[in-house]
Structure formats: structure tokens, C-alpha cells
Amino acid sequence: MNKKTIIRTFEKIALYMELLGENPFKVGAFRKAANVLELDPRSLSEMDDILKLKGIGKGTGAVIIDLLEKGESDLLKELEIEVPSGLIPLLRIPGLGGKKIAKLREALGIDSLDSLRAACESHEVSKVPGFGKKTEEKLLQEIELLGTKKGKLPVWQIETIVKSIEAEMRGISEIIRFSVAGSFRRAKEESSDVDFIIVTDEPSVVREKLLEVLPIEETVAGGDAKLSVVLDMADLVDADFRFVTEAQFATALHHFTGSKDHNVRMRQIAKSKGMKISEYGVETEDGTVKTFDSEKEFFAYFDLPFIPPSLRMDGREIDRADEIAGLVTLEDIRGDFHMHTTWSDGGYSIREMVEACRKKGYSHMVITDHTHYLKVANGLTPERIRNQISEIRKLNEEYDDIEIFCGTEMDILPDGRLDFEDDLLQELDFVIASIHSNFNQSQEQIMERLHAAISNPYVNIIAHPTGRIIGQRDGYNPDVPQLIEWAKQYNKILELNGNPHRFDLAIEYLEIAQKADVKIAINTDAHAIDQLEHMGIGVKYAQKAWLKKETVVNTWPLEKFIREIIRK
């Protein structure tokens, strides 16, 4: 259990209560408790008095006890049952919060997207106090937009779904091994379904157990080779499970990982040698079926190096196979340079983040909490960051296997000023500059802000340069090629934010940056220990842009990092 989970549980409870039209004081108590925990600089393990904190009452305390003892909250589970499931998708409509949805439900009996659409079309919504004609039109537009997005889920949502399915599969003893396949394995930004390959000797038992443990909305097909279902996990998602033997595993995994175009190219290569590739193996000219211990052996059989799933795109990756050895891999990564602690809006203390990075085998890392402009994230004042610097320096003395650098993620203010003065920036080892506000400014204004940051001698890197959230918002629309030119001119790094919510910069821009010889840092922007794992998916995404090892500064040895970035 960690603090972030408790905070998120409180927020979810508040939201669900609001949806049900609960007493605002009750709702407020959960929001307030979430806020109290957010602002407390300590991590959960450092709090022995969490139930006595000002702002934690009887109701909120009971939830904490539940979470600590059982890992889940009974109250939240009850609410999840109580809230009509049709209301949840309404939360995805911009401008509709819990309160407004409750109002519509009370006044018009709205309980789903369909009933909301109908009520907008018959102009009933505009008659509800607080909802005018304009709002009604806007709602209708947003509902249509949601409709067009249907079918594809963003990678971060797929990631959560995959994780929870994997957790269930680990509990099924008849599964010998399994792997996710499909577009998620290829680190695509969006997927329309999830695919798994399962090795088992008892497919029917596994099938029945999967049907038991997964939240099944509908079973589309079920046999000894395959189970196809629609799962009800926040959104509806199609899931396919293929049951194979150990010998078939490698070719099945390759086949169902795709992409379609990649598979077409591989089949052409096989055909030219008189062979046939299927999910069961490679059929040779004399009709025998050859199987492989791994995908690597499968590729080697066709004189190809292992092609990482993320590179399996339009088939042309096969022509570029000799470049693969030079691309960045997870094993090359020596440090993570963007993460938050309880000093701002992270869930863990500095020491806990350091220990987690040591476990990953990193040789160096940078702590980068928010600055004071970002009040919602408990951003640091100059005084607090000076205290943090001395704490980090002291902590650094304790370790000889990892170097902890003092950094910041500084806000670029709406008027183009920076949140800290140069004399303070000078005291820091590493300065990230980011935009978190006024996304709706003109491109010109946004570019002025970015220029102010990137031309400042103490700024090392621009984080999540476009501000996009995949599947949710486009960000603030900067002129990225111009930004890349500036990065080149001022010798600055640009970020590939590896959090799957962001993947920012996007592939097309990473390619332009590498061509311009601009260096990239792949960062997790972790707000909790488990998010440090996003380095893996971040690297996969970088591979999609064919980023070479030397382009990515996280692969540089500590000495080079100090020489060329810290002391620059």
C-alpha cells in the first residue's frame, strides 16, 4: 500500500458519492482527506500517526484501515456496485463532473450516454437549472466525439487492463507460461483489443478459470485453441486468449504480435525459400513443421536479427535490420532524470525513490520536484528547494553506488517568465522546464514561453514538450520543428516522457530530433516507485522512432553525464 493509492481511493469515493448525489459534506470530507495526505511531505511508511492526522476522520480513517489490512476498500466496492455503470462513461465528457451528472440524473433520470444524447436532442437538458442552450449543444458535440473514439483505447488504459489480466493469470496453476501479444506488445499508442498467448496442457480448464476470474461482458468464442471475450473493465474491451503448446509458443507469439504488414513481409521471405509460416511453426518443403525455442531463433532461421516487437511496423524494418543492434535498449539505461517525491506531489520519500533506483541498478538519478507556481502539486518555494538540496547532498553521502543529483521541474509561467531566478537555478545540478498552464494560448505565445526556457543557460531540458495526453488532449500545440532547432542551437536536451499517458515527444518528432543531432532523455516522470517501471515502455517507444543508443543521454556513463550536462 502506498499513499497515492489511498489518495486515489479517496478521490474515487468522493466522485462516486457525488454521482449518487450524496451530502456535499460527506463528499468534501474525502476530498479534504486526500488533500491532507497530498500535502504531507512524508511517505506512508514514515507516518505512524496517519489516523490522527488533522483532516482524517472516522469515515476516512475506516477506509485507510481497510486499505492497510486488505488492500482494498469495502466502501469503494459498495459504491462501485451502487453507481449505475452507465454513468461512468459520462465522466469522460469534458465539462461534466460528478456534481453535474448527479443533477442531470436527478432532474431527467439520465443514466447512460444514450439517455443523455436523447435528452440533449429533445432539448430537455437546457431546461435544467445550470445548463443553458450552449452547454446542451456542447454536450451533444462531445458525445459524438466520444462515439468516434470508441473501439480504440489509449495505451495507458490498455496497460492497466493488461496488468490486471496478467495478475489473474498468475493465479491459474494450469498456465505454464503466457505473454501479452498484439499491438500493446508493439507499444502502440492505441489498441482496439488485447491478445494473450498461453502455454497450457489443459486449455479447457484454463478457459473455464479465465471465464470465472475475468469481468466477462460477453463470450464471443470459446474452444480448446482460443477464447474470445468482451471484458467490462471501465470500458468494454475485446480480449483474445490463444492456447498453444510449449513448442508452438514462439511462432504463435510472433504471429499474434503482428503487425499485419510485418507478418506479410515475413511470409514473403519464407515463401521465397519454399516455406510457409503459420502460428504453429514453419512448414518446410517436405511438409514437416519446424518449431522454435524463442522468437530470436525464429528470426535467426531466416537470417535476421531479433526484431523487437516495437519495431514491427510496416515491414520496412526488415530492410533496416542491420541498424537494430545500434538502437537503445532497456539494458543501456543508466539513470532516470525526472521523478517526484513527497516534497511535491509524489507518493514516496527521496530515500525511497533512491532505494528503488538502486534496485534498478542505475548509476545516477535526478530528483525533480515541482516549483511553487504549481500549487496543486505542492510545488517547492525557493526556501524549500534549498532545504531539499541540502537533504539530497546529505543523503548522497550515504551511497557510493549511486549518484543523486538535485534537480527541479520548473514551471514556465504563462507570461514567459521562469518560476525560479537564475541564482537559485545555478545551485541546482539539473533543471527541467515544463509548461503546465494556459494551454489555450496562441502558438506564438507558447513558443515565446518555450524560447525563454530553452535559451536560459541553466535549463537543461524541456519536459513533455507538447503536453499531450494520449486519447485525451492534444496539448498546447507548439511548433515542434522550431523547438528542435532551438534545442540544437542552445545545445539542450528534449524529453521523451515515457509515461504511457504522454509518450511526449511523439515518434515523428523524435525522428526529426535525432536527425538534427539533438539529444533525448527518456524519463519516467515517476510519481510513485512502480512508475519507474515505465522506463521499459518508454524505451520501446523510443525504438519505434529508431533512436540510437548515443542519442539517448540516459545511456551515457556517469562521468560523461557529469562532464557534458551537469558541469556544462
List contacts with Zn ion (CB under 5 A).
409, 434, 525
Take residue 380 and report the three cell numbers written for it.
517547492
Q: Are strands 493-497 and 289-290 parallel, antiparallel or unpaired?
A: unpaired
Instruction: Find, among 164, 219, 225, 221, the residue nearest to 199 by Cα.
Output: 225
Does residue 265 contact residue 321 with C-beta atoms inside 8 Å? no
CB of 3 to Zn ion, least distance (A): 17
The DSSP annotation for 302-331 comes to: TT-----GGG-SSSGGGTTGGGGGGB--GG
Does residue 60 contact residue 10 with C-beta atoms inside 8 Å? yes
Query: Which amino acid appears at position 330 of this protein?
Result: L
Query: Which amino acid appears at position 311 of this protein?
Result: L
Q: Are strands 461-462 and 493-497 parallel, antiparallel or unpaired?
A: parallel
Maximum alpha-carbon separation in the chain: 77
349 vs 434, which CB is nearer to Zn ion?
Answer: 434
136 vs 336, which CB is nearer to Zn ion?
Answer: 336
183 vs 466, which CB is nearer to Zn ion?
Answer: 466
Take residue 43 and report the three cell numbers written for it.
511517505
56 vs 506, which CB is nearer to Zn ion?
Answer: 506
Does residue 236 contact residue 230 with C-beta atoms inside 8 Å? yes
CB of 470 to Zn ion, least distance (A): 15
Separation CA 497–CA 449 (nearest Å): 19
CB of 428 to Zn ion, least distance (A): 15
Query: Which amino acid appears at position 462 of this protein?
Result: I
CB of 265 to Zn ion, least distance (A): 39
CB of 503 to Zn ion, least distance (A): 14
531 vs 543, which CB is nearer to Zn ion?
Answer: 531
N- to C-terminal Cα distance for the chain? 41
Does residue 392 contact residue 364 with C-beta atoms inside 8 Å? no
CB of 366 to Zn ion, least distance (A): 11
3-state SS of 543-561?
Answer: HHCCCEHHHEHHHCCHHHH
Query: Which amino acid appears at position 107 of this protein?
Result: A
CB of 483 to Zn ion, least distance (A): 16
CB of 188 to Zn ion, least distance (A): 24
434 vs 514, which CB is nearer to Zn ion?
Answer: 434
CB of 436 to Zn ion, least distance (A): 6
189 vs 409, which CB is nearer to Zn ion?
Answer: 409
Using the Cα atoms of residue 197, residue 200, residue 201 and residue 202 in order, give the sign of their dihedral.
negative
Compute CA distances 396 → 164, 333, 379, 425, 497, whole Å: 37, 20, 22, 20, 26
- Helix-then-strand count for the chain, H and E: 21, 17
Does residue 264 contact residue 272 with C-beta atoms inside 8 Å? no
Take residue 314 and report the three cell numbers written for it.
510496416
429 vs 525, which CB is nearer to Zn ion?
Answer: 525
403 vs 525, which CB is nearer to Zn ion?
Answer: 525
154 vs 346, which CB is nearer to Zn ion?
Answer: 346
CB of 481 to Zn ion, least distance (A): 22
CB of 30 to Zn ion, least distance (A): 25
93 vs 463, which CB is nearer to Zn ion?
Answer: 463
Does residue 341 contact residue 350 with C-beta atoms inside 8 Å? yes
